[in-house]
Every structure is written in structure tokens, then in C-alpha cells.
Amino acid sequence: MKKIYVILSLLCLAVMSVSATNVKWDFSSSEAQQAACATITPNSQNTMAATNGTSTMTYQAGTDDCWETQTGCYLKMGGATTETAGVYSARYFAIPITGNGTLVIANSAVDAEKSTKPKCYATTSGATLTTANFEDAIQVGTTTIYTYSVSDYDASTKNTIYVAFPDGQTYVESITWAPGTCVEVRVSDAGMAAFSSTYALDFTGITDVKAYYAVYDNVKKITFKRITGTVAANTGMMIKAKSAKYVPVPVASSGTNYSDNVLTSTASGNYTIQSGENVYVLRKIDGVTGYYHAAVGYTVSGGKSYINLTSRPAPQSLDLDFDYEDAATNIRNVNVNVDVNEAGAVRKYIKDGRLVIVKDGKEYNVAGQQF
């Protein structure tokens, strides 16, 4: 099982009074997309509607560009982008914008070795594409995902983002335009992460990740319930994804406050568990990902969440359940009798009642001697 993590950051853009929906062009998976690929021919200019049908993007192809089916359908930008006298003359995307926001470009991880960094230029529609004006998009960690933000939109002089791949061929999986202020959510291919934000968020139409709050039955079951619209600021959430994802989620002016949610937010900063608190944190210990009982003094990082049952009846055991379409998950239990600290060691009671310290898969007694 692979590492779980979440990265949270605020884009430095003008805050919107209401939320706006992401616009996505997806070339990667469905039969409909593959059929669309077959209609695109090299060496021609084409327009492509976004998956939500709200915007159209222009793709200027080169002579050796093509659409290919690998795990799905991807746009292959073949060879280096043509450059003549300092001007890009082929192989680019032209994406219309109507305000500030962030562009997220996902190259295919199937052929990650062929993933080249995109360069972007925000200017007016139909402008001469001088190569000196293009800027490198920002790579997200070591992944094949890149971002480019616009914070000074102008209806006359900066209404289009041009995207080129001048360093060689690449396979483009999807392009997403996230208008306005967004919170960026990143989940690894393990597929789950604890999460919270100081902003109200709008998950309407967001499909790459799914957000949940949690309800406890005061006996032994915690049920995760799907959030499909706006959610209030400082709401503790569980984020799920089928694979590694990096998704800008639009900021909303307000959102639903789930009063029965037992996921506590740490959006405002780190929180250290106090004596008498009954808290469970999402961790991977000795290869097992789950919720572990947090030891006193454990610090939960800011921007995350934890299960807080301090004011509820203490369970002897806990089960997790998902009430939406996600019955299958790689996290099915809460470890009630396992205490975890920040260093990764756990303290647990084994069958014969001995208290042992577990570190890196090895068991020690309380004096530090290995069994």
C-alpha cells in the first residue's frame, strides 16, 4: 500500500463572491472520447468542447501529431513545437478565459518518460506567439501534473491562455481551467487523505476527487457521507480518489455545515491531542493504512482532519462504511487498541495483556528491549 498525502494551498487570486465551476477537457478514458479522437486529423485546426459543454478550446496541430489509444485516448503532441524566428507556429492549445484562475495540465502517467513540461502564455486571442513570452508551467512535485495561474485577467489584452510543449513529444491526458480562487487538493495513488480548509468550498461537478464527512452511531459504526455541493469553511473531510489526483476546488461564499460530522478540522493550524481526548488519525503503520487512536501529545498537521469521539460513548471496536457508491475501499477498520505517535511508533495491547512498543514492524517492551 502506498503513501497517502494531501497538499493544500491557496491560489493568490481575487476572491470571488460566489463559486464557479471548473471546465475540463478530458482526452483520457471514455469510449466517447476515443470516438472523438478518431475525428481529429493531424495538420488541421480543431475546436474541442469541454466535458461540461461550457467552453471551447482550439488545438493547432502539427504535421506529425496524432491521437492514440493506450490505456485510453490521449492527445500525442509529437516532436518539438515548431519555432520560426522566435515564434511558435504550430502545436499549441488556445484556451479562452473570462477571469482569473488556474490551469491544470495533466500529462499521461502511462508514458511518464515522454512527459515534457508545458509552457504557457496569457495574452489576447490571435496574438503572435513569441517564444520569449512563454513561461514554464509549475510542476506539482515529481508528478506529470503542471499548473499555470492568471491573476491579472483583462477582457481585451489577456483573455486567452496558450499552451505549448517545446521540449519534445508528450501525451496530454486532460486540461482543466479552475476559475476564481481555488483550493488545490492533491491525493496520492493510495486514494485517500484527511483534509480541511479555512474556506467554504464547492464540490459541484468535481468528479476526480470525492469529499466526505463522517457520522458516528454512538455504538460502533462510522459512516462516511458524500459531499456533492458546497461545504462550510473549517469542515473536517475525508478525500477519496481512484488514483493520484491534483484538483483545484473552487472557493464558495458559504456552504453546508454538517452538525453531526465527527471529523474535526485542523484548517487553522496544527493541533496537539490533549489528555482525555478520544481521537483517531489517518495513518499508514507497518504497511497498513487506517485510522489509529492518537496518543496524548500527537500533533495533527494543519489542513487535515481527525475523527473526534471525545464527547461520545467510547467504542470497543469501530467499523467504517461508505453510504454512497463507494462501498469498496482499502480502509475498512479503525484501530481502537492501537495508539500512534508522530514518529510512527505505535503502542498497543496484545492478547496476553503485555504493553509493547511497535516501531518499524518490530516489537519492544516498555524498557526498549526487542522481543
Write out pLDDT tens, residues 271-322: 999 999 999 888 776 666 678 888 889 999 999 999 999 998 877 666 777 7
Indicate the range of 79-93, 147-161, 163-177, 221-235 predicted with least confidence.
79-93
Does 334 have pLDDT greater than 80? Answer: no
For residue 14, tell me if it sits in a domain: no
Whether 25 and 172 share a structural domain = yes
* Residues 226 and 289 reside in one and the same domain: yes
Q: Based on the domain organization, do 172 and 301 belong to the same domain? A: no
Does residue 89 lie in a domain region? yes
Q: Where is the domain boundary, 140, 156, 179?
A: 179
Look at residue 46 and tell me if it is in a domain: yes
Regarding whether 368 and 270 lie in a shared domain, the answer is: no
Structural domain range at position 256: 189-340
Within a domain: 43 = yes
* Residue 242: band (very low, low, confident or very high) from pLDDT cuts 50, 70, 90: confident
| The predicted structure's pLDDT at residue 171 | 81
Whether residue 5 lies inside any domain: the answer is no
Q: What is the model's pLDDT at position 245?
A: 77
pLDDT of residue 288: 65
Both 157 and 25 in one domain: the answer is yes
Q: What is the DSSP string of 64-92?
A: T-EEEESSSEEEEE-SSPPEETTEE-SSE
305 belongs to a structural domain: yes
For β-strands 221-227 and 170-179, DSSP reports them as unpaired
What integer pLDDT is reported at residue 294 of this predicted model?
87
- Between 212 and 8, residue with greater pLDDT: 212
One domain, residues 82 and 157: yes
- 97 with 138, same domain? yes
Query: What was the pLDDT predicted at 214?
Result: 93
Q: Tell me, what CATH number does 70's domain have?
A: 2.60.120
- Same domain for 250 and 150: no
Burial 246-264 (b: 16+ CB within 10 A, else e): bbbbbbbeebeebeebbbb
203 and 269, same domain (yes or no) = yes
| Domain final position from 145, 179, 213 | 179
Q: Strands, E, within 260-317: which ranges?
A: 263-265, 271-272, 279-285, 288-294, 299-300, 305-308
Q: What is the pLDDT of residue 328?
A: 46
Q: Which residue has the cell 489528555?
A: 275
- Give me 291's grid cell: 485510522
Q: Are 143 and 228 found together in one domain?
A: no
- Count the domains in the chain: 3
* pLDDT value for 346: 59
Domain boundary among 179, 206, 231: 179
Average pLDDT for residues 12-35, to the nearest whole number? 55
Residue 241: pLDDT over 90: no
7 is a domain residue? no
Does 293 reside within a domain? yes
- The CA-atom distances, in angstroms, between 299 and each of 309, 329, 363, 370 are 17, 26, 23, 27
Read off the pLDDT of residues 162-174 as tens digits, 9 standing for 90 and up.
Answer: 998 887 778 888 8
> Residue 75 carries which side chain, given as an amino acid letter?
L
Instruction: Please tell me whether residues 209 and 295 are part of one structural domain.
Output: yes
* pLDDT, greater one: 156 or 18: 156
Residues 135 and 206 grouped into a single domain: no
